[in-house]
Structure 1
Amino acid sequence: MPMILLRSIKLQELMNGTRCIIHNCNRHFVEVVIAAGIYSGQHHSIPRIPLRPSDTMFPFQFERKQFPFRPCFAMTINKAQGQTLKVIGIDLRQPIFAHGMLYVALSRTGKEDSITTLSSQGLARNEVYTEVL
């Protein structure tokens, strides 16, 4: 199953946003293979990590352990920045909300025929808020 790493574990190989394939699951760690990038094909074991909420109303601390993954059948444009993908699909039915995001989305692959867009009436709105500029 394709997964995306939600926390940086090792400075270069296992960064936030790294796409991995789960190879084996155990109770305390997951064995993964990095799916893309210069570390593609490397095997790693990723443990459950403790998470503590920073904003709590209680006089005691909660802690839980979980694997820092999320399924990655789709990702946002922000998470895709810096990724190189073979095929991409972009949903343009809602306007792109930040300057340069459409460029980031379209530049994730090197081939025009590897891009599929979904838009209403074949158009995409580029909303620019001049008050902010």
Structure 2
Amino acid sequence: MGRYVFEGKVISGSNIGDKVFIPRLSLSPSDVVIPFKFQRKQVPLAVSFAMTINKSQEQSLKHVGAYLPTHVFSHIQLYIAVLRVTSREGIKILIIDEDGEDTTVTSNVVYEEVFRNV
């Protein structure tokens, strides 16, 4: 089955821990100009990479996605994530509120106890 189906495990969202199976698909072009039919088999997956905001320093990237499931601990983290992208069109930010809904606002968390002995 390994040559025809990929097995995965959901790591976030409402179905955490569920096993998923991604089958290989048969693709046939619908172009009538080609005088013959051919079929290509392909698994609908795209390779992607992830890194922490701190590891992204001194990197320039065409596409940056920031997932913020909680408030930003330090505004410099969000600043660095946004600063890494080379164009405005290349950044996507997903912010989740306390109810699990998408939002456009996040808070900068400040722990006052850090400043007590300063």
Provide the TM-score with structure 2 as the length reference.
0.46
Q: Which has the larger radius of gyration?
A: 2
- Specify which structure has the higher proportion of helix: 2
What is the TM-score normalised by the length of structure 1?
0.42
